[in-house]
Amino acid sequence: DAGVIQSPRHEVTEMGQEVTLRCKPISGHDYLFWYRQTMMRGLELLIYFNNNVPIDDSGMPEDRFSAKMPNASFSTLKIQPSEPRDSAVYFCASRLAGKNTGELFFGEGSRLTVL
């Protein structure tokens, strides 16, 4: 079975450029999460969706970050304009509603470097 699929796996860009990260959750999963991981701050929740609706975006650092989920099989995280401090690994994860197992299924991550 296909897991959570993220693209691109690696992105190197220059400060000021727009970055778009993409995620395809596991089919049938109701929740989708975007996390950011850095050495300094660990794994931070940015935003999550339930049935394509954003529920909590309090973790989004600032207005430069935006996320959308136009349908159940696709989500994007956009950074515009990007800054060097945005360099991190961005993970997308999904899970089923009603399953109290605490199991999130993560994608392999998108490693972003902003020069």
Partner 1 sequence: RKEVEQDPGPFNVPEGATVAFNCTYSNSASQSFFWYRQDCRKEPKLLMSVYSSGNEDGRFTAQLNRASQYISLLIRDSKLSDSATYLCVVTVSGSARQLTFGSGTQLTVLP
Binding residues (CB under 8 A) for partner 1: these are 35, 41-43, 45, 48, 50, 55-56, 91, 100-104, 106-109
Residue 108: CB minimum distance to partner 1, A: 6
Of the two residues 72 and 104, which places its CB atom closer to partner 1 in the complex? 104
Residues 6+ apart with CB under 8 A from 19: 11, 13, 78, 79, 80, 82, 86, 112, 114
Q: Which amino acid is at 39?
A: M
**Least spacing, CB of residue 1 vs partner 1, in Å:** 15
Q: What's the min distance (Å) between Cβ of 32 and partner 1?
A: 13
The C-alpha atoms of residue 69 and residue 94 are separated, in whole angstroms, by 13
Instruction: Please tell me the chain's helix, strand, coil percentages from 3-state DSSP, rounded to the nearest 5.
Output: 5, 55, 45
27 versus 50: smaller Cβ distance to partner 1: 50
Cα 97 to the chain's mean position, in Å?
Answer: 18
Q: Cβ closer to partner 1: 9 or 16?
A: 9
Q: Which is nearer to partner 1, 12 or 15 (CB)?
A: 12
